[in-house]
Amino acid sequence: MRTSTLNLIAMALLLVCGCNAFRPNGISEIKTTYDRTAALDYAKRFWSKVNSDGYIAVKGNPAYVACPAGTPFQQIYAGGSVDEWATLPNGSIIGWDQGLNDCAHFVSSCLGTPPGDKGGGLPISSQFNTIYGQTSAHKLFVDLKSKNLVTVLFEDRTYNDAEPMLTSLQPGDLIFYHNKDYKEYQHCAIYLGGTERRITCHSYCRHEMSNAYPQGWDSVMISGGTSIEINRTLGLREDQRCTFVRIN
């Protein structure tokens, strides 16, 4: 009886407040309206910095490293290659050799309600009690889709198929990238639009504010796979696919 009463109280609070603070078992998460302006503003402020929760996602166990919020990512681009890293307070670095993998974490923070700041307000699930949101692009896609927060415009398309469909995306919508040999998404980004059709993401850091490294929607190249045929100078390869996702 006590549990039933508490659940009824929690449900009433959810209905009145529209918040996610009370979520007993069996009560669906309440969908909130996506604030595109806030999401894009967060991206503009943190595209080249550690997110406001003070963590960096990495490939490893645990899948995150603590680092002060706002710590800049350093980037060197020369000769068609790029290196990127953040320096921790103890002087050590988190770069590609240390498993830097912050794309889904960054997009999660832009879309959701990250600690210490404001994003787009969507109810993004967190994998851990520390780092905010998802640390895997594939898990972020599954999380958004399972909550009916997004509409998949098309899935698993090549560059040639996807390019004419860019007009279906609005600034603040998403692009997920994968290689057919991986069988899951390996990278995600927020579409910025504009005449240059740029994206914003982490790992590598991209935004319309930077010209140091290619920033276009098609500048993502995932390592691995069997094909080495390049369909352009830099970016999506013939064995790579992308998925366009509109946020509802």
User: What are the two backbone dihedrals, phi and then psi, of residue 155, each rounded to the nearest 5 degrees?
Assistant: -135, 145
Return mean pLDDT, the chain: 85
Structural domains counted in the chain: 2
11 and 48 assigned to the same domain = no
Q: Are residues 20 and 117 located together in one domain of the fold?
A: no
Residue 159: what pLDDT? 86
Residue 2 sits in the same domain as residue 44: no
Percent of the chain with pLDDT over 90: 64
Give the domain extent around 19: 1-28
Residues 163 and 180 in one domain: yes
pLDDT score recorded for residue 214? 84
- Same domain, residue pair 161 and 193: yes
Which range (3-17, 77-91, 156-170, 213-227) has the least confidence?
3-17
pLDDT for the residue numbered 237: 74
Co-location of 20 and 121 in the same domain: no
Does residue 98 share a domain with residue 12? no
228 — pLDDT class (breaks 50, 70, 90)? very low
Same domain for 199 and 167: yes
pLDDT band for position 2 (cuts 50, 70, 90): very low
Q: Is the pLDDT of residue 125 over 50?
A: yes
Q: Are residues 103 and 221 in the same domain?
A: yes
Tens-digit pLDDT profile for residues 114-124? 999 999 999 99
pLDDT above 90: residue 57: yes
Question: Which residues, 6 or more positions from 93, have their beta carbon under 8 angstroms from its beta carbon?
Answer: 85, 86, 87
- pLDDT attached to residue 171: 97
The whole-number pLDDT of residue 27 equals 34
Q: Do 11 and 74 fall into the same domain?
A: no
Does residue 4 surpass a pLDDT of 70?
A: no
- Does residue 129 sit in the same domain as residue 18? no
Q: Look at residue 247 in the predicted model and tell me its pLDDT.
A: 97
102 and 222 within one domain = yes
State which of 32-36, 227-231, 236-240 shows the largest mean pLDDT.
32-36
| pLDDT bracket for residue 233 (50, 70, 90) | very low
- pLDDT the model gives residue 224: 57
